[in-house]
Chain A
Amino acid sequence: MTASDQDANVPTAEGAAGALTASDGPAAAPLLEVDGLTVRLPVGGVKRAVLRDVSLTVRAGEAVGLVGESGSGKSMTARAIDRLLPGGAEVDGQIRCSGRDVSELAGADLRAFRTKVAMIFQDPRAHVNPVRRIGDFMTEAMRTNLGVPPRYAQMRALDMLAQVGIDDGERRMRQYPHELSGGMLQRVMIAAALLTDPRLLLADEPTTALDVTTQAEVMAILDELRREYGLAMLFITHDLELAAAICDRTVVMYAGQIVEVRSSELLHDDPLHPYTAALAAARPDIARTTARLRAIPGRPLSAFEAPADECAFAPRCPHASDACRAGVPGLTALDGGLSRCVRAAELRGQLTVSHE
């Protein structure tokens, strides 16, 4: 599609940005509001829940961690926000970005939306066209969605590559993805995501496939640029410590539900939900050896495998009682955070994560 094919009402770069920023009034309404999100996917002809009643907000410039194990629904949440769910998905609830209902976006509006809510993935190689040059890939969204002239797009890309620590940008932009290492390619993905001047970055395990020293660098770059551009971020990871290191708040998910929301600095030493405590305690400690790790019995469950009418974590929880099996606990406020545990108040101070 060329510019002349498009309708007159297609938003320009400024228009699209405006649409998403207009409602960011002085009251600082959240940039992103997810409200009662439930997603069902067809598995073998049956619709099965992968997300159950997920509600969260991200304010402008805020970094929120989304932590969980396989099947917890953390990636599905990000995909639902960016409208990248697989076909046949059934979505209930609402996702609003700058006050605008994301489910109503289509065509050029949806493309413009995705330039403002950018996503980076765990495996950069699976999300880049292997037969197109890095430069082409990086400038595509600017050229096609924002109508930026190619020469200028090229300059912006070079500048952004320098900011993610790639100094020989001209050479890199002539290269193909297979000529770059995983860490280098992930930096390119971050640079590309930032080129359209997004307001929110959805980062889905962006450093999990990288070496630890590379991870530290990429995290530092993400953190630095995010602050510099006032960018909000939803950072998805299985690593509690990593989330805590760069996020203001951390959201913990289990079996398609949010089980805890807590300020990151309190999460490790003073969790509100038994699952968070168990997750932190199960991880070996780099500073000491323990005779036995406190493994959580059983395995992590997907939303559709977990009990639907009681606490989803109850079958694995050392603190489970009859009250936990009486119904699905609500997400209730406690001590500045939220916990989906009926015994949360009573268990305060007992949910230690120390290895002793």
Chain B
Amino acid sequence: MSETLLPDSPGSDSHAPVLAVTSLRKEFGSLVAVEDVSFTVQPAESMAIVGESGSGKTTIARMIVGLEHPTGGTITACGADRSRPARSARDRRRRGGEVQIVFQDPYTSLDPRQTAEDAVSEALRLHHDWPADRRRSRVTELIDLVGLDARQARSLPRTLSGGQRQRVAIARALAAEPRVLILDESVAALDVSIQAQVLNLLADIRDETAVSYVLISHDLAVVRQLTDHAIVMYRGRVVERGPTARVLDEPQDPYTRRLRASVPRPGWKPTRAGSEFS
């Protein structure tokens, strides 16, 4: 694997999607959480899954990273099927090298007893068979890339702010040199001024590494800023898809329209949901 963050694309032509989801379905008992969801993500592309609670967006993310097993349909990442559970530690590690995830809450997704650089170093050790000095220099690079200083790198999560913790989680996810990074509401809990810093950082990382993002978010302004394409989910189904700008500027589906109309903006007056949407 190369020294740069740019991952190799073994044997694949540049037009093959890095992530493909086909007819995905998930049932929890009698509840159908995800129904007939399909999408593809190209290298260096950024896609949003937009929806509210119960729409199934997080369930999709959990299936992609292997935390839930699909009831039906297929998930393919970097040409390899991952619809079934990994059969070996080696297989699981390979999958980790393809897709990584950053969760919403930076307070629970880090090990409280592990410093920022140890968290990154551990991920490097898992995914690359590198000599210690190479690993150390890579830790420094990654810590640097996410904008943490040397003191913060040696700090435990509890001494870091929410924004700094989220940077650690991003650095740790990037250590595996994934082709796809799933951002599950990763900036939702951050203060506005910090959220802007992290969004700029994510844009920089994408420019530098050609990683693809799957951004799961209910925040349409964040979706606009970070993604090229979007799918809108409602009650487990995709109700609208297209280029992000088109979906937000000219929403076609009644639900997308209602979602768009619910966003506070200058001159906005909130309304009770009436007959316009059922």
Contact = CB atoms under 8 A, between A and B. Distances in A.
Interface of A: 69-70, 165, 182, 211-217, 219-221, 223-224, 238-239, 241-242, 244-246, 268-269, 278-279, 282-290, 292-296, 299-300, 316
A284 B248 CA distance: 14
Interface stretch (B31-39, B90-98, B111-119, B191-199): B191-199
A299 B270 contact: no
Contact of A282 (B161, B196, B245): B196
A282 B193 contact: yes
Interface of B: 52-53, 161-163, 191-197, 199-200, 203, 218, 220-222, 224-225, 245, 248-249, 258-266, 268-273
Contact of B264 (A165, A214, A241, A295): A241
Given A69-B191, A211-B53, A295-B197, A244 B266 contact: yes
Nearest to A268: B266
A299 B163 contact: yes
A282 B273 contact: no
A61 to B, nearest CB: 18
Given A284-B224, A293-B200, A245 B194 contact: no
B255 to A, nearest CB: 9
Contacts of B265: 241, 286
8 contacts: A213-B259, A217-B271, A241-B268, A283-B221, A284-B222, A286-B224, A293-B199, A299-B163
A156 to B, nearest CB: 21
Contacts of B52: 211-214
Contact of B224 (A224, A282, A288): A288
Contacts of A284: 196, 199, 221-222, 224-225
B224 A279 contact: no
Contact of B200 (A223, A238, A244, A295): A295
Contacts of B259: 212-213
Contacts of A211: 52-53, 218
Contacts of A282: 192-193, 195-196
Given A217-B272, A244-B264, 4 more contacts: A214-B52, A221-B272, A245-B264, A295-B196
Contacts of A268: 266
B221 A69 contact: no
B273 A217 contact: yes
Given A217-B272, A295-B200, A283 B192 contact: yes
B258 A213 contact: yes
B196 A296 contact: yes
Given A216-B261, A221-B272, A241 B266 contact: yes
B262 A212 contact: yes
Given A269-B266, A293-B199, A213 B273 contact: yes
A100 B262 CA distance: 39
A289 B258 CA distance: 21
A242 B52 CA distance: 18
Contact of B193 (A223, A239, A300): A300
Nearest to B249: A287
Contacts of B193: 69, 278-279, 282, 295-296, 299-300, 316
Contacts of A242: 264
Contacts of B249: 287
A63 B199 CA distance: 33
> In this complex, which of B222, B270, B272 has the most chain A Cβ atoms within 10 angstroms of its Cβ?
B270
Nearest to A246: B270
Contact of B270 (A217, A279, A285): A217
Contacts of B218: 211-212
B225 A293 contact: yes
Nearest to B201: A295
Top 6 nearest A-B pairs by Cβ distance? A295-B196, A219-B270, A284-B225, A211-B52, A216-B262, A296-B193
B192 A238 contact: yes
A316 B192 CA distance: 14
A211 B51 CA distance: 9
Contacts of A294: 196
Contacts of B222: 284
A292 B200 contact: yes
B216 to A, nearest CB: 14
Contact of A286 (B53, B192, B263): B263
B270 A220 contact: yes
Contact of A220 (B161, B196, B200, B272): B272
A220 B273 CA distance: 9
B271 to A, nearest CB: 5
Contact of A245 (B260, B269, B273): B269
> In this complex, which of A282, A284, A293 has the most chain B Cβ atoms within 10 angstroms of its Cβ?
A284
A295 B192 CA distance: 9
Contacts of B261: 216
B20 to A, nearest CB: 26
Contact of A290 (B162, B191, B195, B225): B225
A290 B261 CA distance: 22
A206 to B, nearest CB: 12
B197 A245 contact: no
A316 B196 CA distance: 14
Nearest to A221: B272
Nearest to A286: B221
Nearest to B273: A217
A200 B266 CA distance: 25
A286 B196 contact: no
A285 B269 contact: no
B192 A69 contact: yes
B225 A299 contact: no
Given A279-B193, A282-B192, A284-B221, A212 B270 contact: no
